[in-house]
Amino acid sequence: MLIFEQSQNNRCNTAQAPLEPRDTSAIPENLRRKKKPRLPEVSELQVVRHYTRLSQKNFSIDTQFYPLGSCTMKYNPRACNSLAMLPGFLARHPYAALEHSQGFLACMYDLQEILKDVTGMKAVSLTPMAGAQGEFAGVAMIRAYHDANNEGRQRTEILVPDAAHGTNPATATMCGFKTREIPTDDNGDVDIEALKQALGPQTAGIMLTNPSTLGVFERDIKTIAELVHAAGGLLYYDGANLNAILGKVKPGDMGFDVIHMNLHKTFSTPHGGGGPGAGPVGVNERLLPYLPIPIVARDGDKYHWLTEKDYPKSIGRLSAFMGNAGVLLRAYIYARLVGREGMTRIAEFSTLNANYMMAKLKQAGFTMALPQRRATHEFILTLKKEAKELNVNAMDYAKRLLDYGFHAPTTYFPLIVPECLLIEPTETEDKQTLDGFIDAMVSIAQESREKPEFVKGAPYTLPVKRLDDVKAARELNLAWKPGNTL
């Protein structure tokens, strides 16, 4: 039942809003609202009960294992939330005076330094509000660089592997580039011959994820970097999979010119049912002048903002203020709790968990997309055989896993592997949980052989069964309207 449907005319909460009437006659008649909005008229208890009950219809990391490939659904430590929500941090206005900002700015400055070290880049800007905005910032900087070298008109193409996230080509378009796809070879690496063919005076740059979206380390990265640089292009690192290499390899050392990080993945800030994230960008010397502003600087023991006048060539501002400050605080707190030693262990144990699951699933008879390769922090299983022989596909497995109490892995991504599940356990899961997931996969395989129609009907134990997506798109119902349902 919608909150609107619990509404009673003239019921209202009186404790949360000011009580006494106030004169608003200063608003001229023609600028006044004509028809009142219909917000719910409910009690505080109704609100609390309704949204508590709704929350219980969700899967979450706090309640279920969430092996969602490419999303790094690791445990979100409670201290990160409670400390970022200290009253002093919550009350700080974004335009607070510098003397009322030193504690906050110290955290932001420290975080910039930590991210520089982790990525091996020269400088960092924290302002992008999500991974896709970090990508935008990165590719916009590549554009600004070519423009400054008078090659902007000629360099019109961004290369992306065919296994790339959809945000990569979408970002290239937003920055006014055309996208050209590069195929992947049978071992999951970028096809070097195809890359050589694609490179030319029109190349602005290449966007890569390493480890790649296929869950393997791109071994030829040095060669790729040399080829792209020789053609006059720049290398963009998509930080989606940074968790796998923390403290082991730095993108700066691989030859990348610019990188974005997803702090809501690697630095364990919560996903919040779809956000907020934070997508800071790091650059090497070459792209330094173009960083998005503002940036925090330190002068002796005082902190201040660097803005337009310090960065006249900046690609500009991307948020009204300075980005998702509360998310950045959570990431900073996490980095301090984990520390230098812990960073490397994150890479080690996320890799251990993924390789363990891959080995166990292989033993259980499942087919891996790249069985000859080491898994990184994630790996791909393909259900092509099951789909063909039993008509049970990756989506059916995903939905049936929900009945077993596990969130489904990422399905049908990357697009180049048929019937795939992209599985990323993260370092925070224990062996018993991983074993439980593997047992569920084995059970579903057996169910698929014995009663495939049953598996195709899953899930059975959730608040709803499979939803009619076609109806949702054809008979659009995107908002409650008064009279619709009351």
Does residue 464 belong to the site contacting another protein (CB under 8 A)? yes
Q: CB of 106: closest distance to another protein in angstroms? A: 6
Does residue 436 belong to the site contacting another protein (CB under 8 A)? no
Contact (Cβ atoms closer than 8 angstroms) between residue 73 and residue 37: no
> What part of residues 180-209 is at the interface with another protein (CB under 8 A)?
none
Closer residue to another protein (CB): 50 or 384: 50
Contact (Cβ atoms closer than 8 angstroms) between residue 258 and residue 138: yes
Within 10 A of 48 (CB to CB), how many other CB atoms are there? 10
> What part of residues 315-334 is at the interface with another protein (CB under 8 A)?
315-327, 333
With CB under 8 A as the rule, give the number of residues binding another protein: 202
> What part of residues 81-120 is at the interface with another protein (CB under 8 A)?
81, 83-97, 99-104, 106-107, 110, 113-114, 116-118, 120
> What part of residues 136-155 is at the interface with another protein (CB under 8 A)?
136, 140, 143
DSSP 411: E
The token duo for 132 is 């896709």
Q: CB of 12: closest distance to another protein in angstroms? A: 5
> What part of residues 224-243 is at the interface with another protein (CB under 8 A)?
none
Q: CB of 63: closest distance to another protein in angstroms? A: 6
Omega of the bond leading into 289 within 30 degrees of 0 (cis) = no
SS3 163: coil
In angstroms, rounded to a whole number, what is the distance separating the alpha carbons of residues 401 and 378? 18
> What part of residues 361-420 is at the interface with another protein (CB under 8 A)?
363, 373-374, 398-399, 402, 407-408, 413
SS3 179: strand
Q: CB of 478: closest distance to another protein in angstroms? A: 5
Burial category of 158 from C-beta neighbours within 10 Å (exposed 0-12, middle 13-18, buried 19 and up): buried
Q: CB of 431: closest distance to another protein in angstroms? A: 5
Looking at 196-204, 245-253, 298-306, 381-389, which segment touches another protein (CB under 8 A)? Answer: 245-253
> What part of residues 32-71 is at the interface with another protein (CB under 8 A)?
32-42, 44, 47-48, 50-52, 54-64, 66, 68, 71
Which of 270, 287, 369, 315 is closest to 119 using CA atoms? 287
Q: CB of 258: closest distance to another protein in angstroms? A: 16
Q: Which amino acid is at 177?
A: F
Omega of the bond leading into 294 within 30 degrees of 0 (cis) = yes
Dihedral angle sign, alpha carbons of residues 305, 306, 309, 314: negative
- Do β-strands 234-239 and 258-261 pair in parallel, antiparallel, or remain unpaired? parallel
Does residue 277 belong to the site contacting another protein (CB under 8 A)? yes
> What part of residues 206-225 is at the interface with another protein (CB under 8 A)?
216-217, 219, 221-222
